[in-house]
A and B are shown apart, each in its own frame.
Chain A
């Protein structure tokens, strides 16, 4: 008899710049190569535009911009992760443009640490937890919250702003 059952969860990890993030696989529908993205004039800058997903129109979010990173040119590794987000009682399908997709990780729940509350550059409600993978920390995103909010997350400057607010 085992007193503790080990639960593992699967996460898709991706990179923005030199940082790694993870989204729970239940949200992920598929991964697309970048095709021509049609810009929608006069929309927020982090909204990259729309692409054709098998005959339907898929809005694409530039995750770099959304997270407050600088904009860079797309590379061969740039991908669109198609996410299914449930927000405010409705389902939204959207694409998240990321620098590169890494792998699907099975992570034991016991390994997931609470996000640090102090000295972090990330606002805690957007991070569900973090896990050490090799020599790097992977941020596990609160995916539905991150992509359903209208605001630019400004992950970079968060600590400063928080400090000012406090």
Chain B
């Protein structure tokens, strides 16, 4: 495989993702022009590049599929489920093929025969039905329009409430490309929704959605443009720039008008060259691909610079010079700015996963005969690329669970008074240096009785154990239980909930689950934004400093050393409860002087509190995690080490492994 072919494979995999996204949009909105053009263009690019670099099999397949979509473009054919399905399946096969390692099997001419044949067959059938009318049957195409809909409820309704209006808004949003803004009043109820949707559905039809909630709200429709404004970044930027303020209708209308004029001009100038999309050009100009090693390297040097800067500041403090003091402060500012900027380089938006999930939801709901809407919120939230890659499988598992076990069949949903369409929602947001991801569904919830019964059957808990609802839900993550609850061909394969939890812990994250019968389940994941940046407490045990990740820390207490026995583990009363406390100075064989008062830090392990003693808490510390290397591979309780401001090394605890190890072999 030469480097051009490798480049092609990388690019093609990106293009395939774009193609998926476009196809799914097209399926949701079969008359929309923008996704159709995008799909056609992407296929064309794949075809051209594939033929150029010797992947003729892929080129041939893309050619036949492209022909089909060309028919659609010329309005001789309609977008059907079948068309979308054969296209998706064909390109899935291409994607699998491209992941092969040896070039011979990728370019093998037989590999795509089946899919090519299907495309040709579909083509033939389409021709057969087309010819009698001889193309005269150009299909009536509904016009794609952008509407703004203002909905002011007259009842107190909360954003995530159960009022039908909430679902109607979601349903409308699912009709096309949409953006929803919610304005709340002082009590947290919704004051007004502003919904922007680009769809082929007519205004009358949109209005009919509100018939049943006529008395509960006032609705104002405005047609903004006879096209989708969502291809225009300015439009989205304008809406987003509004913050909480309501959009000014006049600005919106006049503004939209302007943009259309601009767009029309734009169209003229690009008409000669229909294959080069404005959007791709922008992408190519603003993004470059960088090897991950280079970024890691850069970060290493910058963390070294920060350490140097700290040393420099220490040394400068001893010299009485205003000039030097100013320079030191400036240096501090610049180095930290440099660090923040370079950290951001390695981050990618959660969005990269969303297309994958949309596909999953589509395929699964078709397989299982369920109606599911997938909503994502905060997809622009940025996370470390490694984290995203490692989280893909666990999140797929969670979504799969939500659809398979959570969302009911449409008939069941109707019977229990819910909308036929279930909703699976991915919500991501940043808090401090952590990223929060919630995956929720509005299905039937987890049956706690079933979980408890299974757990007792499997001997995970004893029959007469008294467990709180939360504790029962936590059992879901137990390895003996995860796959067993109800096995179907959908869940049960791939990773179990215990693996999901383990993966999240490996990333120094946290996961919790909430479920209400009949209302649904939500899984909440908290992850550090970056794998290499760690936020922790700097502590001292005996002669050495350590970092304890802040995620694990609950609370700190002071305990008189005289009250502790020399045992490695003992029960200590903290906040009125007996907590097992590990005497770290003893465990680490720190024989030196011990202060008269020790700090006990309460950390949580699997939801249970555990204390560890430390000599001193030196403060919060945000720093770069470095691997300890193979020499210390047996010291699992440390996830790595970090360099302190004065150049010394501090070890970083992996609290989960630490507690596990302390429990298993407290005396070692």
Contacts and interface: CB of A to CB of B under 8 A. Distances in A.
B648 A38 contact: yes
Nearest to A37: B649
Interface in A48-96: 49-52, 54-57, 59, 61, 90, 92-94
Interface string A24-47: 000000000001101111110001
A41 B589 contact: yes
A40 B651 contact: yes
B589 A57 contact: no
A92 B632 CA distance: 12
Interface in B254-309: 300-301, 303-304, 307
B244 to A, nearest CB: 44
B632 A35 contact: no
B627 A57 contact: yes
Given A41-B588, A57-B641, A52 B649 contact: yes
A36 B543 CA distance: 11
Nearest to A93: B629
A59 B647 contact: no
Nearest to B306: A55
Contact of B543 (A35, A39, A90): A39
Given A40-B651, A42-B668, A52 B631 contact: no
Interface string A125-149: 0000000000000000000000000
Contact of A38 (B301, B629, B634, B649): B649
A59 B629 contact: yes
Nearest to A87: B630
B416 interface: no
A92 B627 CA distance: 12
Contacts of A49: 649
Nearest to A95: B631
The size class of the interface chain A forms with chain B is 20 to 34
Contacts of B630: 90, 92
B304 A92 contact: no
B228 to A, nearest CB: 50
B337 interface: no
Nearest to A39: B544
Nearest to B632: A40
Interface of A is mostly: strand
A38 B650 contact: yes
Interface in B472-529: none
A52 B632 contact: no
Contacts of B648: 35-36, 38, 52
Interface in B579-611: 587-589
Contacts of B650: 38
Interface string B606-650: 000000000000000000001111111011011011010001111
Nearest to B589: A41
A40 B637 CA distance: 10
Given A38-B648, A50-B649, A57 B304 contact: no
A40 B635 contact: yes
Nearest to A36: B648
B651 A55 contact: no
A82 to B, nearest CB: 13
B647 A42 contact: no
A57 B300 contact: no
Contacts of B627: 57
A56 B626 CA distance: 7
A38 B304 CA distance: 18
Contacts of A94: 629, 631
Contacts of A61: 631
Given A50-B641, A54-B304, A56-B300, A38 B544 contact: yes
Given A40-B635, A50-B628, A57 B649 contact: yes
Most buried by B among A51, A55, A93, A94: A55
B632 A47 contact: yes
B640 to A, nearest CB: 8
Given A38-B648, A57-B629, A43 B634 contact: yes
A96 B167 CA distance: 67
Greatest chain A CB density within 10 A among B630, B649, B651 is at B649
Contacts of A47: 631-632
Which of A40, A47, A51, A61 is the most central at the interface, judged by chain B CB atoms within 10 Å of its CB? A40
Contacts of A93: 629
A49 B629 CA distance: 12
A55 B628 contact: no
A162 B667 CA distance: 34
B648 to A, nearest CB: 5
Contact of B629 (A36, A41, A55, A92): A92
A39 B651 CA distance: 9
A61 B631 CA distance: 9
A56 B638 CA distance: 16
A50 B647 CA distance: 12
A43 B632 contact: yes
Contacts of A42: 587-588, 635, 637, 668
Given A39-B543, A40-B632, A55 B303 contact: yes
Contacts of A43: 632, 634-635
A38 B588 CA distance: 13
B629 A35 contact: no
Nearest to B305: A55
A41 B587 CA distance: 9
A55 B300 contact: yes
Given A43-B635, A55-B301, A57-B627, A38 B641 contact: yes
A42 B638 CA distance: 11
A35 B651 CA distance: 16
Contacts of B643: 52, 55, 57
Given A56-B626, A59-B632, A38 B647 contact: no
Interface in B640-664: 640-641, 643, 647-651
Contacts of B635: 40-43
A94 to B, nearest CB: 6
B336 to A, nearest CB: 16
Given A36-B648, A38-B545, A55-B304, 4 more contacts: A39-B543, A47-B631, A50-B632, A56-B300
Q: Return the 10 tightest CB-CB contacts between A and B, nearest first.
A: A55-B304, A59-B631, A41-B588, A38-B649, A57-B641, A57-B626, A52-B643, A50-B649, A36-B648, A52-B649
16 contacts: A36-B648, A38-B544, A38-B649, A38-B651, A40-B628, A42-B587, A42-B588, A47-B631, A50-B628, A52-B307, A52-B643, A55-B300, A56-B300, A57-B626, A57-B629, A57-B640
